[in-house]
Structures are given as C-alpha cells and as structure tokens.
C-alpha cells in the first residue's frame, strides 16, 4: 500500500544518504508501517580486485575486507570518475539485483553543499535511480527524527567524516548561508590519532582504515572515561598497549568543533528564536556516537549562558538523514521528481 497514490506500483522508493564514511540506504514499499524499512549501511569505499573471472569491482565492507588486495578509494573524492560510476552501479544492483523494479530515490549528502559536490551527487543519483530528488540533509534529519516540536524549531548538528555542519530548522530547509560548516569531523580525529601514535609508538604503522575502526570502537571524550587497549598480533604472539589517553587526546578537539558550529548558528539566528532552537539540539552523523560527547556539549553549552540547551542523540544518529529521505520519497508527488536523461559517462 503506497502512502502517495500518485506514484505507480512497481516503484521501489528509497532514501539514500551518501556519506564520506558510510552510505546509508533505507528502503520500504510503503510509508504507513506495513513494511518495516530495510536499512543498508555500505562503507563508501570501492576497490578493484582480481576475481576468479578477471577484474572485479567490490564496494563497502567487502572492499574494506579485501584492502590487502587493492587500493581502497572513496568514490566521491576519487580523481577518477569511474569510481563514482561503478559505485553507483553496484548500489543499483544491490537494490534491484534482478532489474525488476523502477527505483525512485531521495538523495542527500554533506558533499552537496558546493556546486561541484552537487554535480557529483546528481551524477551518482542518476546512476542509481530512475527518478531522483536531492534535498538538504538538515531538512531530512528533522523529518527523520519524527518529533513535530523538533521539526518545527531545532538545530541539527551533523558530525560527519570531513566536517561538522550545523543548521537551524524552523519552518523548512535552512536558507542559503544558514548552514555553518566547521572543517574537521571524524577524519580529523583519525589524523590526530595517527600523528599521536606515530610519535609515541614510532615502530607501529597502521592504515587509515584500521585507525578509523579503532577510533569508532574506542574513542571517547571527557567526562566519559574508559579503558582502551590495542593488541598487536604477530602470528600466535601479541603485544598489548594502553591507547586510551591517545584516543582521548585525538577526540577532544571534536567537542570544540561542534561548539564552534553551534555558536555560529546561534549568532546568525533571530534572537527571539534562540531559546526555542536551544531546546532541541540534535546530534547526528557518525561522530554523534562518540562516547561522552553529548554530556560534554550539554555541560559546555549550559556553562556558556544557554541554560535551556538540551542536546539529544537519536537512537540511530547515522540513519537519520536516510530515514528522512525515505519519508520524502513517499511524500513527493510524481511531478516533483527529477527524471535523469543521461547517466554519468566517465
């Protein structure tokens, strides 16, 4: 049963958030709860490996697992546009392996903020979907959160891999110039961790992917405190190193980046809205899972004369934008979709 009767049956509606780190996809045939949306999380990585029948393209977790065989590439950041094309093709074949469905997808990405980023995003969307629509991540997060109060007046902070993006939402998408971007984010934490480890344990060489995984599992900021060990295995032997202080030092500046983005949004917002906006500050993106971050930000924001500040992290902060995109995929009328004329040609 389709929520929007104007869309023909046989169309699979999809919400897709093309992140620097992970591409999150939500799929459901209806939007009235008859079918629980399926969620796919595909690390945004692609690799070209040697298969049994010749060269093969692998994406996501498989590409990461086989990174000893070939170089890992981020499709949005690659110099070679073939990576973006191939990544799109693979996503399409995952969503519709037998070519039976028409795919209509609402797409978003933090990379869509620039003209070039938007071009790439549109090219990717046209590769995957038969009809598409690109919408602002903040609007989609507000929709995906499912709270009317939060959707009406709130601040959305997306802690992504390459930056921290904050935007106020009051009555629709953030207007041009209202989204504040602070460079940094998760990749900067990984870079700091790499630098600290190379200084303290100079014999140890770790790949960025491994450092990323280590950070995701164990990084934290005060007031949280937890033990964290790195076990270096050689064949059957191993050595264990306490890395908790290194992880804390690498992650701490992220709190400052988020606060900086928040301050800039509040400075730009109408003064009569500040109190309402502060009452619904939502953290999303992979960085929102950093242990201790929400408590730390609440403390700091209240200390800095925002006594009503309430910072929440949704249950699944990484899927918020994709969930909102799926809602919109069911809400849009047929004439509101873009119809791709050309697929992307490298």
Task: Kindly state whether residue 222 participates in binding another protein, applying the rule CB under 8 A.
Answer: no
Residue 140, exposed/middle/buried by CB under 10 A (0-12, 13-18, 19+)? buried
Q: What is the C-alpha to C-alpha distance for residues 28 and 329, in angstroms, rounded to an integer?
A: 10
Reference 247, options 229, 270, 274, 233; nearest CA is 229
Tokens of 23: 């591409």
Reference 218, options 231, 205, 207; nearest CA is 231
What's the min distance (Å) between Cβ of 224 and another protein?
A: 13
> In the stretch 236-265, what mask flags binding to another protein with x, by CB under 8 A?
xxxxxxxx----------------------
Contact 16, 108 (CB under 8 A): yes
What three-state secondary structure class fits 180?
Answer: strand
Instruction: Tell me the number of residues near another protein by CB under 8 A.
Output: 42
Task: Kindly state whether residue 312 participates in binding another protein, applying the rule CB under 8 A.
Answer: no
What's the min distance (Å) between Cβ of 311 and another protein?
A: 23
Contact 187, 162 (CB under 8 A): yes
What's the min distance (Å) between Cβ of 329 and another protein?
A: 34
What's the min distance (Å) between Cβ of 126 and another protein?
A: 30
Q: What is the C-alpha to C-alpha distance for residues 181 and 189, in angstroms, rounded to an integer?
A: 16
Task: Kindly state whether residue 229 participates in binding another protein, applying the rule CB under 8 A.
Answer: yes
Range 68-88 burial, b when 16+ CB lie within 10 A, else e: eebebbbbbeeeeebbbbbbb
What's the min distance (Å) between Cβ of 247 and another protein?
A: 10
Task: Kindly state whether residue 188 participates in binding another protein, applying the rule CB under 8 A.
Answer: no
Pairing, β 154-159 against β 281-284: parallel
Among 93, 198, 222, 310, binds another protein (CB under 8 A): 198
Among 209, 260, 298, 316, binds another protein (CB under 8 A): 209
Reference 178, options 149, 152, 148, 154; nearest CA is 154
Task: Kindly state whether residue 6 participates in binding another protein, applying the rule CB under 8 A.
Answer: no
Task: Kindly state whether residue 234 participates in binding another protein, applying the rule CB under 8 A.
Answer: yes
Tokens of 154: 């709130």
259 alpha-carbon distance from chain centroid: 19
What's the min distance (Å) between Cβ of 319 and another protein?
A: 21
Q: Which one of 24-32, 34-42, 228-236, 301-309 is the stretch in contact with another protein (CB under 8 A)?
A: 228-236
Task: Kindly state whether residue 213 participates in binding another protein, applying the rule CB under 8 A.
Answer: yes
Among 16, 107, 169, 230, binds another protein (CB under 8 A): 230
Among 1, 5, 38, 205, binds another protein (CB under 8 A): 205
> In the stretch 38-77, what mask flags binding to another protein with x, by CB under 8 A?
---------------------------xxxxxxxx-----
Q: What is the C-alpha to C-alpha distance for residues 179 and 265, in angstroms, rounded to an integer?
A: 7
What's the min distance (Å) between Cβ of 200 and another protein?
A: 6
What's the min distance (Å) between Cβ of 116 and another protein?
A: 25
Q: Would you tell me which residues interact with another protein (CB under 8 A)?
A: 65-72, 198, 200-210, 213-214, 217-218, 226-243
């Amino acid at each position: 049963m389709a929520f929007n009767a104007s869309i023909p049956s046989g169309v699979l509606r999809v919400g897709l958030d093309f992140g620097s780190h992970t591409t999150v996809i939500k799929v459901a045939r209806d939007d009235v709860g008859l079918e629980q949306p399926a969620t796919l999380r595909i690390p945004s990585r692609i690799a070209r490996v040697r298969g049994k029948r010749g060269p093969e393209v692998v994406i996501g977790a498989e590409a990461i697992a086989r990174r000893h065989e070939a170089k890992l590439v981020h499709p949005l950041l690659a110099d070679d546009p073939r990576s973006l094309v191939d990544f799109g093709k693979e996503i399409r074949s995952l969503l519709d392996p037998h070519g039976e469905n028409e795919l209509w997808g609402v797409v978003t990405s933090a990379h869509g903020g620039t003209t070039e980023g938007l071009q790439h995003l549109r090219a990717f969307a046209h590769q995957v979907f038969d009809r598409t629509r690109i919408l602002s991540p903040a609007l989609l997060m507000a929709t995906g959160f499912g709270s009317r109060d939060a959707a009406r007046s709130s601040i959305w902070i997306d802690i992504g891999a390459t930056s921290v993006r904050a935007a106020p939402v009051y009555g629709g998408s953030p207007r041009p110039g209202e989204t504040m971007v602070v460079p940094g984010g998760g990749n900067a934490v990984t870079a700091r961790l790499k630098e600290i480890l190379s200084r303290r344990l100079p014999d140890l060489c770790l790949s960025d992917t491994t450092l990323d995984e280590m950070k995701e599992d164990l990084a934290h900021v005060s007031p949280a405190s937890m033990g964290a060990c790195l076990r270096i295995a050689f064949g059957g032997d191993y050595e264990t190193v306490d890395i908790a202080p290194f992880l804390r030092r690498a992650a701490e500046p992220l709190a400052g980046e988020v606060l900086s983005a928040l301050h800039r949004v509040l400075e730009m917002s109408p003064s009569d809205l500040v109190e309402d906006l502060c009452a619904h500050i939502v953290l999303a993106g992979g960085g929102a899972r950093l242990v201790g971050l929400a408590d730390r930000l609440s403390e700091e924001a209240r200390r800095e004369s925002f006594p009503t500040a309430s910072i929440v992290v949704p249950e699944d902060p990484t899927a918020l934008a994709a969930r909102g995109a799926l809602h919109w995929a069911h809400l849009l009328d047929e004439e509101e979709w873009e119809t791709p004329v050309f697929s992307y040609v490298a």
